[in-house]
Amino acid sequence: MIKQIDTTSENNSLDRVDGRVKVTGTATYSAEYSFANLVHAVLITSTIAKGHITQIDSKEAETISGVLAIVSHLNSPGVPGYGTAKQPPERAGMGTSFRVFYDSLIYFSGQPIAMVLAETLEQANYAASLVKVTYHIEKHQTNFEENLSKAYISPGVLRNKNSPFQDYIRGDRDALDKSKFKIEATYTIPTQHHQPMEPHAIIAVWEAADKLTVYDKNQGVKSAQGNLAQAFKIPRENVKVNAQFIGGAFGSGIRVWPHTVAAVLAAKMLNRPVKLVLGRELMFSSVGYRPYTVQKVSMGADSDGLLTAIVHEGIGQTSSYEEHLERTILASRVMYDCPNVSTKYRLLSLDANTPTWMRGPGDASGMFALECALDELAFDLKIDPLTMRLRNYANHDLERNLPWSAKGLKECYELGAEKFGWKNRSHEVRSMRKDGMLIGYGMASSLYGFHRHPSKARVVMLANGTVIVQSATMDIGPGTGTAMTSIAARVLGISPDKIRFELGDSSLPDAPGQNGSSTIPSVGAAVHVACEALKKKLTELGDAMPGSDTASYADILKFHKLPELEVTEESRSGPERDQYSMYSFGCHFVEVHVSLVTGETRVKRVVTCADVGKIINYKTARSQSIGGVVGGIGMALMEESVMDHRYGRYVTSDFASYHIPVHSDIPQIDVLYVDKADTLANPIGAKGLGEIAIVGVAAAVANAVFHATGKRIRSLPINVEKLI
């Protein structure tokens, strides 16, 4: 009765279960729901970076036909959960998110300071253009490089002795000075913005005085449900968050942002549905970014290339009112077999909005510095970069002194190097040329922490043998529904066509947000155990009927006169999390061509290989890996949010000026997997793939550029100006 459904191979993997509704335009995104009596909201934002508002003149705007209200701190009914504490709190208590329409203070340029509510979008936009705001301007600080001396240890870290961001020392703190060979370099990651195709949008509907429904572009409907319930002081179960379809997010939708709260507040005021869509310019000041980061890495080694010391210090950007910390320096503690390691992490507050997690947060930035530094050291020692990594291969986690649950990084190196043809690389820079182009080969390692959160899934077998699987998880693009359908089909042994996976609704069983590469390890495990439980129930029912060996699931339900059979199960980590160290691992090999005349740089080939445990659905996994590599190429060669520090305002405020890769920028990308289940990680043996796909790519590109040109570019992006 039970057969195995294979979706892990390239030939048998599933097409996206939601592919048809997306390509035909019938999928409904947050801004596309229809409501009678809908009100349109438009935000008015500050034009200064620091100071306070002295006057808001909205008289003319209020006369425009269709305008219903203009909301600001002057007339806002207030958000109940904000309380009365001063904003921002003193640094010792930093951690308060920005409170919209709370007071007259300005913390960053582009800050929402007022909101026009009107019958049509056109009326709201026109009225917004008529609102006049005057300010008392104070001197702002937005230049990261000029303020490095003001970096500080996070007060939250100081209070928490177990924080991973505490200063860390392993072994001899003076080992670097004693090292025979050493390098020291500073690496810079500029501010980068997520830039999904779909802008952030919300429709807020109050069904009753204490009952709220929102259609929001959000990566975590359960956390958003809790945050909105707290903000408006209503029961959590009375808040419903819907985000069934999301047009990309990359981390920008992890939290509830001020514009979401503003729309909910407006809907409450007017007792009508309110829609608020951020324009592309507001995407640069409203929903976070990868923080500007400066890192200094020092490395020591002996003459054989064995690492003797690593010192990694990082400074990351945050806002003046809230702390944002990233894993920038953490990989240096576990990536290589080095007895003496020290790390430090500091924050720098500037007059800008709060950063947030962006694909591969912290690790993508930190591994750029670590992997470039190791490449520099290998070059000085005249050791092949891949050989250097193999000589310093960590056979266990030296930070926690634990064995790996599974580690197939050596297999990644072997598979990737063979596919790429790494053996054909010469050691000397500027030594490989073709058709007037300098050719460079570069590579880098990749790792990302394993994250598994308690998750629930409900599985319902209907009388006709079809199955509904439900969980309040999300899909920002990787194909969550497809992967969960694959898991359910494999466990139940039925055709994927008979399974429907429902997600993106906070009323469904608990699940974490889609971030930190945790969806497959967490929700996938819950779907697995729920389907196993359902299969067990069905088997027991089948054993009680004649001819059970040939009976289908539908036959079993019919025999027992059951219209349906339902189970809900939870999956969570056990003691193994404290007994083993769990990571995803990988590597990237890159070929670049650099013009001898213009310095134009093109990535010509990429081979990426990952050890992420069991591959659940090959086709969507491959798509994830390709997407990560594309993001890494953008990070390396193009992406940079440029601010005019005279005004504290981004001048790269649209798709024309913020450069991201297009099809002509991306070469053939070969994707390889070790594909061995990590049975200690979870019941399905799968670990996270989404983040690791980008981690290390920028370093591999930078290392290839150095091999091609002999110029070591340590500040991203690598552009023509830096090469000529």
Looking at residue 546, what is its pLDDT?
A: 85
- With contact defined as beta carbons under 8 Å apart, do 297 and 184 qualify? yes
d(CA 645, CA 141): 8
* pTM, full prediction: 0.96
Backbone angles phi, psi at 687, to 5 degrees: -120, 175
pLDDT at 67: 98
Q: Is the pLDDT of residue 92 over 60?
A: no
> pLDDT at residue 420 above 80?
yes
Question: CA 247, CA 320: separation in Å to the nearest integer?
Answer: 30
Banded pLDDT at 88 (limits 50, 70, 90): low
Which of the four pLDDT bands, split at 50, 70 and 90, describes residue 97?
confident
Strand partners, 311: 298, 342
Please check whether residues 92 and 110 belong to one and the same domain.
yes
- Cβ atoms 94, 322 nearer than 8 A: yes
Distances (CA, A) of 229 to 61, 242, 322: 33, 14, 21
d(CA 621, CA 618): 5
Is the pLDDT score of 89 beyond 80? no
Non-local (6+) Cβ contacts of 80 within 8 A are 231, 232, 233
Q: Are residues 544 and 404 in the same domain?
A: no
Q: Is the pLDDT of residue 9 over 80?
A: no
DSSP 581: B
Residue where a domain stops, chosen among 553, 572, 591: 572
pLDDT of residue 84: 72
- H/E stretch holding 483: helix 480-492
**Does residue 639 lie in a domain region?**
yes
Helix, strand, or coil here: 390?
helix
CATH number for the domain spanning 418: value is 3.30.365.10
Backbone phi and psi for residue 191, each to the nearest 5 degrees, phi listed first: -60, 135
User: What integer pLDDT is reported at residue 7 of this predicted model?
Assistant: 67
Residue 201 inside a domain? The answer is: yes
Instruction: Identify the pLDDT of residue 90.
Output: 44
Flag whether pLDDT at 566 surpasses 60: yes
Are residues 627 and 601 both part of a single domain?
Answer: yes
φ, ψ (nearest 5 deg) of residue 529: -70, -35
Contact 262, 231 (CB under 8 A): no
The model's pLDDT over 596-619, given as tens digits with 9 standing for 90+, comes to 999 999 999 999 999 999 999 999
Assign 667 a pLDDT band (cuts: 50, 70, 90).
Answer: very high
Task: State mean pLDDT over 697-719.
Answer: 98
Verify that 405 and 420 share a domain, yes or no: yes
- In the chain, the number of structural domains is 3
Q: What are the pLDDT digits (tens) for 274-301?
A: 999 999 999 999 999 999 999 999 999 9
Q: Average pLDDT in the 345-356 region? A: 97
Look at residue 609 and tell me if it is in a domain: yes
* Residue 3, in any domain of the structure: no
Residue 691 falls within a domain, yes or no?
A: yes
Examine the domain organization and report whether 543 and 589 are in the same domain.
Answer: no
Query: Is residue 263 domain-shared with residue 297, that is, in the same domain?
Result: no
Instruction: Please tell me the distance from the alpha carbon of residue 309 to that of residue 413, in angstroms, as a whole number.
Output: 23
Alpha-carbon span 252 to 195, nearest angstrom: 9
Residue 94: per-residue pLDDT: 40
Q: Which pair of tokens denotes residue 504?
A: 């993106």
| Co-location of 599 and 705 in the same domain | yes
Buried b / exposed e along 595-626 (16+ C-beta atoms within 10 A): eeeebebbbebbbbbbbbbbbbbbbbbbbbbb
Asked whether residue 521 is assigned to any structural domain, the reply reads: yes
For 712, residues 6+ apart whose C-beta sits below 8 A from its C-beta are 185, 372, 376, 702, 706
Structural domain of 37: 33-139+197-248+253-286
- Residue 72 belongs to a domain: yes
Place of tokens 């209907």: 462
Whether residue 412 is found in the same domain as residue 429: yes
Nearest-5° Cα angle at 130, 125 to 136: 115
- For residue 548, the model assigns a pLDDT of 72
Per-residue model confidence (pLDDT) at position 96: 59
Degrees to nearest 5, angle at CA 621 with 619 and 622: 65
* DSSP-derived 3-state class of residue 717: coil
pLDDT at 158: 94
**How far is it, in rounded angstroms, from Cα 131 to Cα 62?**
9
259-273 per-position pLDDT tens digit: 999 999 999 999 999
| Residue type at position 508 | L
Residues 606 and 638 both lie in one domain: yes
Query: Which of 92-106, 217-231, 374-388, 390-404 has the least mean pLDDT?
Result: 92-106
Residue 549: pLDDT band (50, 70, 90) is confident
572, 606, 623 - which closes a domain: 572
- H helix runs in 63-154, sequence order: 121-130
Domain check: are 122 and 228 in the same one?
A: yes
Claim to verify: residue 216 and residue 318 sit in the same structural domain = no
Q: Tell me the percentage of the chain whose pLDDT exceeds 70.
A: 97
Based on the fold, state whether residues 558 and 479 are members of the same structural domain: yes
As a whole number, the mean pLDDT across the chain is 95
Domain of 266, CATH number, reads 3.90.1170.50
In a domain, 5, yes or no: no
Please give the distance of CA 257 from its chain centroid, rounded to a whole number.
Answer: 16
Task: Give the count of beta carbons closer than 10 Å to the beta carbon of residue 689.
Answer: 28
Give me the active site residues, please: 691
pLDDT for residue 95: 44
Q: Residues 318-322: what's their mean pLDDT?
A: 94
pLDDT tens-digit series, residues 179-223 = 999 999 999 999 999 999 999 999 999 999 999 999 999 999 999
Question: Residue 8: pLDDT above 70?
Answer: no
Nearest-Å Rg of the Cα atoms of the chain is 27
- Of 518, 540, 572, which one is at a domain's C-terminal end? 572
